Each structure stands twice: as C-alpha cells, then as structure tokens.
Amino acid sequence: MVQADGTVAATDGAGEPEEAPGAPGARNPWLDPRRGWVTAGLAVLLALLLALHAEVPNALGNLGSLLETFLPWLGLAVPLLVAAGLWRRSATALAAVLLPTILWFNLFGGLLTDKSSGTGDFGVLTHNVAAANSDTAGTLKMINGSGAAIVALEELAPSAVKTYSTGLAARYPYHAVEGTVGLWSTYPITEVHVVDIRIGWTRAFRARVTTPAGPLAVYVAHLPSVRLESGSGFTAGRRDVSAQALGDAVEAEPLKKVLLMGDLNGTMNDRSLAPITSQMRSAQGAAGDGFGFSWPAAFPMARIDQILSKGGLRPTDSRVLPADGSDHRAVAADYRY
C-alpha cells in the first residue's frame, strides 16, 4: 500500500494483515483439519492392530504370534499419541486416540483389578528353575515357604534333581520327575506317564494327585523355546507342534478336574496355544491382580509361565513371586475344589 509520502507500507506478503488470536474470524487451531493428521493416522493403525491382531498372518516370521505375545505393551503408545495430539493442538488427533484407548481397555482393563476371592482349598506353584540357576538354595527356600501343596518345576538339570528332591522332601513327601520336569506334592502322586509333545525328549508328563477333596489330573509341561532371529523372524514351529500335542492329551484326559502347570513359552493371547487355551482357563485371568508377567525375571514383559485348569476347579487367587536365581519368576495360585 502506497502512503501519502510515497513510501510503501510493509505487508505480510499476502496482502492482508494477520488476524490476532481470538479476533472475529480467526481460525481455531484445535479445529484445523490440517493439524494432527499424522497422529490421527497412527492412532487408527494402533486401533487396527488391537482389534485385528488375530488377522496378522504368521506366514512371515510368525509376526502374528510375536505381536500377540507382547500385545498389552501396545498400550504404551496411547500416552505418546495423546502428548503428540496436545503438542499439535489437534482435536482430530485426540479424538482418534480414543479408538485404541477404548480397545485396549476392552482387551486388558479387566486385568487391572484384583479378582482374588479369598483362600482356596489348596495352593499350587509352577517355576522354571533354570538349569543355570544361580541361587538354588534361595529357590528351595522360596518354594518351601510358598504354602503351595502342589509344585511343578521345569528345566531341571540332571545334576540338580537330587538337590531339589532332598531340599523339598520335608515339605513335599511325594514327587515324580520325568526328563527335565518334575512334580512335588503334599498329596499322593500315582499313575505317572510321559506325554509325548513331539520334540524327541521328555519335557511333559501327566500324574494323578489325590487331594482330600478328590483326584486331580495334573499335567506338567515345558514347551520348546521360541526365538527372535534375524532373517527367520519369530521361530516358534516346534513350540506350536508341541502345543497341539499337549492340547490333544488334555482333551483326552479321563478325569474331570485337570490342572496344567508349566512354562508354555507363550501367552494366553498367542493364537498358537489355542489347542490348550481354548479348553482351559488361566488362574491369572480369573483371579489375579495385574498382568502377572513372569519373564524375564529382571524386568518381566510377558506371562509365559502358566497355571491353567478345567473341570470346575475355581481359582481364588493368582500371584507372581519375587525373583530368585532363575531367569523366570515363579507363579502361584489357590484353588477351590
């Protein structure tokens, strides 16, 4: 614009003065559809992963099972997306973040409350004690002081079997060991037989435990480990074959009340454990408080050590014990017969 003295007045380059915030006609940044669309897109993607995790294929590196193993941790992305939406001052982004928030709470919100319902008739415990356990004495002390009547142990080194048998004998007069897995009990153990989980050596068996309230079929299992490797992804083929074999054995069990305890190297969300999880319920899911992560011991990120039941056994409590000399944490539960 030319002024009276012939000079040119400076403008903003658009020929119009910039409107002050809050002035009539000023654009509200929170309602600007151009803001926050990247955050909104990421929120929608997160919601799709939560809602459709079962559709993520396993054909490429078992990505579906890998996602399902750590599925609860996707919730950590929600506060990051909220922060991004606030930083961008975008109502669109914040509205989109509601989608994964609702879905996450629908999937896992029930785990955040304490569902314990008092003392049961008997307690059980399972623990991968680790062949390279750095504190066997501490592990024995923890087990003996746990109050459990039935104890399953996995990854028993041959050289350590005598140590555990001797250290647990006073509290648990009955025991059975097959391969690298064992069962100790305050109740009589009979009818022990190996369960073939198709790996070429013994890592699972079934036993009859006679409690004062009646007999239980107790399965102890340590399914093959899974690996996350470059080039091949999440390798879980042998674990999946073993899960099917173990599920078939449990389904064919003649006794009504059945317990399965052990290191299944998979979570309840992992579709590959469906031959087992479709017919049994988790003590942690029914009577626990929190996620009950058991591995790795130093900073647990997944619950791969499981206590499962069927046939009317009612879990009343489920908990994770403190770390010991193993790379897993022991998990325990109480049951009403």
**φ and ψ at 217, to 5 degrees?**
-95, 120
- Per-residue pLDDT tens for 44-89? 999 999 999 999 998 888 899 999 999 999 999 999 999 999 999 9
The dihedral over CA atoms of 265, 269, 272, 276, expressed in degrees to the nearest 10, equals: 80
**Which pLDDT value is given to residue 118?**
85
Cβ-based neighbours of 75, under 8 Å, separated by 6 or more: 104, 108
SS3 of 123, please?
strand
**Cβ-based neighbour number of residue 256 at 10 Å:** 13
Global pTM value:
0.88
Q: Residues 122, 150: contact at Cβ < 8 Å? A: yes
Q: Is the pLDDT of residue 18 over 50?
A: no
Residue 16: phi and psi, rounded to 5, are: -130, 140
* pLDDT tops 80 at residue 8: no
**Residue 209: what pLDDT?**
98
Whether residue 21 is predicted with pLDDT greater than 60 in this model: the reply is no
* Average pLDDT of span 175-184: 98
Give the burial string for 62-99 (b: 16+ CB within 10 Å, else e): bebbbbbbebbebbebbeebbebbeebebbbbbebbeb
Domains in the chain with CATH codes: 29-112 (no CATH), 122-336 (3.60.10.10)
**pLDDT for res 230:** 60
Higher pLDDT, 162 or 8: 162
- For residues 318 and 292, the answer to whether their CB atoms sit within 8 Å is yes
Lowest model confidence (mean pLDDT) among 127-136, 235-244, 294-303: 235-244
Q: pLDDT tens-digit profile of 202-237? A: 999 999 999 999 999 999 999 998 876 665 566 788
As a residue count, the chain comes to 337
- Give the integer Cα–Cα distance in Å for 76 and 80: 7
Report the distance separating Cα 59 and Cα 45, nearest Å: 21
Cβ atoms of 239 and 225 within 8 Å: the answer is yes
Per-residue confidence (pLDDT) for residue 231, from 0 to 100: 59
Q: What is the mean pLDDT of the chain?
A: 92
Task: State which amino acid sits at residue 74.
Answer: L
Distance CA 166, CA 334 (A): 25
Range with the poorest average pLDDT among 140-149, 219-228, 256-265? 219-228
